[in-house]
Structure 1
Amino acid sequence: MQVMQPSQLFPRPENDGHIMASWERFLNGERAHGNALRRLIDDSWQRCLDASVDPSRYQAPEPLGENSLYSLRTEHHELLTASTPVMAEAREFLSETGTVMVLTDHQGTILSLEGDSSTSTRGATENVHLLPGSDWSENACGTNAIGTALTLGQPVQIHSAEHFCAGIKRWTCSATVIRDPYDNRILGVIDVSGLNGTYNRHSLALVVTTAGRIENRLARIEMDYRYRLLEQCMRNLATSTADGLIVLDRRGLPIKANERASAVLAGLGEDVAGRRGLTLNDVSLGVARGDALPDHLPDWIRPEWLAPVMHNGQRIGTLLTLPNRSPASFVAGGMQEGETGLASDKGAFARVIGQSRNTLEAVARARQLARSNVPVLMLGETGVGKDVFARCMHEGGSAKDGPFVALNCGGFSRELLTSELFGYTDGAFTGARRGGMIGKVEAADGGTLFLDEIGEMPLDLQPHFLRVLEEGEVYRLGENKPRKVKFRLIAATNRDLRKEVEEGRFRMDLFYRVAVTSVHIPPLRERIGDIPLLADYYLERLAQQHGVRKGVLLPGTLEALQAYAWPGNIREFRNIMESMLLTAPDHILGDECLPPEILGRGAAPVESPSRPFAQPQVASEGNRLEDAERDAILKAIRNHGGNMAAVARALGIAKSTLYLKLKRFDLDSLVDSVRSIRN
């Protein structure tokens, strides 16, 4: 980047007449002469001419439509989050000055605008399309502070006749780029614009200072992400394992590795054709969002080695597990079953949403058992997702290419369950289907049979099923010839089968046959830390299903969800999220969308292992007042679409006081979300 000389930094309004004459000669094919025209303007005009920009243009192109602008703002959410509180102050000191402060993305498209809201200023900005969604790059609008700052990558001030397009020559503007504090790439532009009578050299200092403040906020956001990422991965890094573990940031670059990573990388390098001695410098994956694979995955990295690290439903990094294939890696004393390091690569269990220790331990055990063909008993309350675990075990086992057949033993009478389980021949009983019917046991041949609620199987039917397991043969009803079957059994129950055996409701021999080993799936109240991930997952999935916007879940509402006991577990959670999504006003999921039991008039809060709650106590008067104040602010923000001036008026407080309260209640980031949805 070439730094401009001081004489080139600022325009000289007294030269407007000479500059206008130079522009007319330039359009007629003559080169400018004299020192009235700054070099940066001459160069910019030439770029505009080369790009066939229409010099008679009187306004920017039409702004983006509502949906496109919403998508663009979502894409640049972090820049908006960092800029919103800084630009909000512009509303104060630019009021009645006839100027506005503009934020654009890295291509010059306006994301937001603050400043003088008088009728005359608003009319002037609308006339030239200085509006959210408008493109102000040089190729779109000719020489102007936004587009020229992007081209030069440094602060510029463009005044009046210096603009290339005729319709914009009434304006004066100052702009500079906003750079990513991590890699110095340009993220956007901050600009102050007004009609030429508002010209002030200090406007350039204002935008440079504002850009610096925004970059500082971006740096703090980046550091917060890194601290959370390292905090969540520290247990994995500290685990005794022969595998190499590398923590990668949101951009797919390594920031931390365990002591084995370098040695394992070097060994992997020997296995890659044409490569020798891989190092951490060779690890660069590119950006990844959600559960998707990174943009630029090297050919020597297998997808199953990667595990996303999530926080509040957002991907903040990736954990890369490099398997150590050397013989020494199999010595005793390595990572034990159930440790979170084992579960970092979910593989076939990717559909199990959650990163809490309880969830990862259940996944690690189920994944280990999936490799064998022994019967497994899934233990857990109703609605915890036993069927999901069963299907994941099938897909992660040796029978994954075979059928997966599921049957709920509690959903049929004894006669119907017998038919469903074993099948029947033609004419086996009155009402039998012509040609007979294949049973679920036979249908699962070569694959997996999942029997949900096996504790509901009638006692007199149990010995027949036990014979199938022991002999590998099934008899259809009405048939005397056995059929050979081979399948993997996964059973599930929410009952205590040992107690059922003691009380004579379940056969002991069948119990020991189906419960060779077991997997306990924790209830939702024991993995409260997974609720943000589950909320984000279901809001995304349900929004696609119903064709609506995903919406924004307010932090206070998320806390209420985490404090609830969830007797219906994941099934209840999914239903409530669907109800909230479809009834939320303005796509903002607040407390008013919650059912009464979650608002404290139902089940009591349960202590969370990942986020312990204090001992239950009566809320103090101060706490109740703070809650009421926070709710009032949230309601006002929603009602006024994030317009802080209107919010302050509605609440009867100064805007400076309002911003202090937003910071106190950690509501800063919600303002932009509300604005994005409203716009």
Structure 2
Amino acid sequence: MFSDPGNDAAVMAAWERFLDGGGAPSDALRSLVDGSWHRCQQHNVDPDKRKAPPPVAESALETLRQRHDELLQASAPVMACARDFLAETGTVMALADTSSTILTMEGDNPTIGSAESIHLLPGVAWSERVCGTNAIGTALAVGQPVQIHSAEHYCAGIKRWTCSATVIRHPHDGEILGVVDVSGLSETYSRQSLALVVTTASRIESRLTMMEMERRYRLLEAALPYWSGGADGIVLFDRRGYPIKANENAQAAIAAFGADLDLAAPRRIAALALDGNGQPLPAWLRAEWLVPVASRGERLGTLLIVPLPRLGRARAAEPVRELAAGDAPSCDPGVPGIPPGFASIVTADPGLGDALRKADQLARSRVPVLLLGETGVGKEEFAQGIHKASPFRDGPYVALNCGGLSRELLASELFGYVDGAFTGARKGGLVGKIEAANGGTLFLDEIGEMPPDLQPHLLRVLEQGEIYRLGENVPRKVDFRLIAATHRDLRQEVAAGRFRMDFYYRVAVTSIRIPSLRDRRGDVRLLARHFVDLFRERHGLGPRRLGEALLAALEAYAWPGNVRELRNVIESMVLMSEGELLGPEALPPELADGDAAAAHAPQPVPPAVRSIATGEAELIRCAIAATRGNLTKAARELDIAKSTLYQKVKQYGLEADISRVRSG
């Protein structure tokens, strides 16, 4: 990777022999340089060239800069710093585009003057085809960091210089956007120059990531009016021609026109890029289906609206069944409007009915699905229903909750490990959940809790279809359908840096929001009566029915735990009751003692705070007091994982508050 100035004489002799066409390359000549020299010879580069061609006209350079405005914006702060940290170092920093043309340059002023003698200037193309072996052109040719020193240059006029460069890649797909270079006269050689350009490129790529995330948020917001209603397939493409969001009908609509666009493995359609340069549309795609998406006068992307042939989807004319793990269906699964795979669901709510039909439609494709909803709304029941109606229905259904597990335990659960991978590893190794789901469905609940450093590993599995067990170097092929679920707002998690943007767009190809129970008031009575019958039969009890006063109390409660909480409350009341009629006296203490009213009361305002840490501690203290020390409920109220709450309690020393509230 690094040049060795001590080999200059040997490299110079190798260059002369190379030009004379004699002998094998010297041991002092690196393979990187030897390969570049051969490319230069194939391109008939003049080895006696003294300098690069003259720069393009100022107007042409300005056009180039406008074309690469995003790259220049991302690199502007870095290049501004170069004026200071490269001053008096005898080096300059250059930013070039993918044609090796320098767009801007900063650094030591005397060195900039010396660089003019070889036309190391903005507006000059330093490709290998034109200028021979040099860091800018060679880095673009090989796509990796390079250092070219003195005699290693192909052209004689540049051999007094030393340079280091690396490419800058787009954070989404790794496309090369440009190159950053540090150059100086030979005596300024330093291995640190290569580290400097690699770090600089990384900083520019990080800024590009933030800019891309902000632009995608604007695009999604601008496209929102097109998203609701209708039976057409809708796909939103970003300015580079990549699909970033699709509705539930998109895959079916595209397939109806014979296209092979798989939204589970999004790929670029060059003709839909804003700089498509006249690329032809795919044969299946019609221009009249395209709608430009703009915001504040700036074109951000393109909406593809594909007409969907009639699929004969029936609207629910009767109550649809609603979610409860382990329930037995209380009505015929063949009732019109009820997707067969979701027969264990009881509801009369139109919103949940729409979510069920959307899930049933998506189940027929292979795309990842993200289920959104509060704890207890029944995300796993949706996942199981999608699996039953999917192309993977004959394969295994494997579920894993990403919350409450340490990073190490979660990694071993997901990827598995080989025998002896670490101290305490099970003899013979362990098959991970991903591998176990091969040919079927993998359901990852609370994916928002997955540590950020694990996310790129799962992203690679989704994109490459390969998995490495921990401690193993041989990949294993896997093919599965991913369904993920979370109660968090992942867009906010991305903005806060807790969830990777590339991973978000991979798992959220399509999404389904499951409404909470408090938004489905009519379902409380339906579910309560259903659960009474279910548990009465399960536990072999006599007749049980709910009184009107009890049903009214149940409807007045906010149900922060949703269907799961209601299910548990009903089971408890059925088991504890002695008579046939259950009244308000059967309510558990947390509902009977006024929590139903408190659920709708304004929450107490935390006292004034002077720091974020103090505010967080006060908020947790209020939640502990409001839930009488019940940390499960407190975590739910705070919208954080229970394991996270335990860590915060320990961090802020709130154990005494818990003891005091519980004893009081």
Alignment TM-score > 0.5, same fold: no
TM-score, normalisation: structure 2: 0.45
Q: TM-score under structure 1 normalisation?
A: 0.44
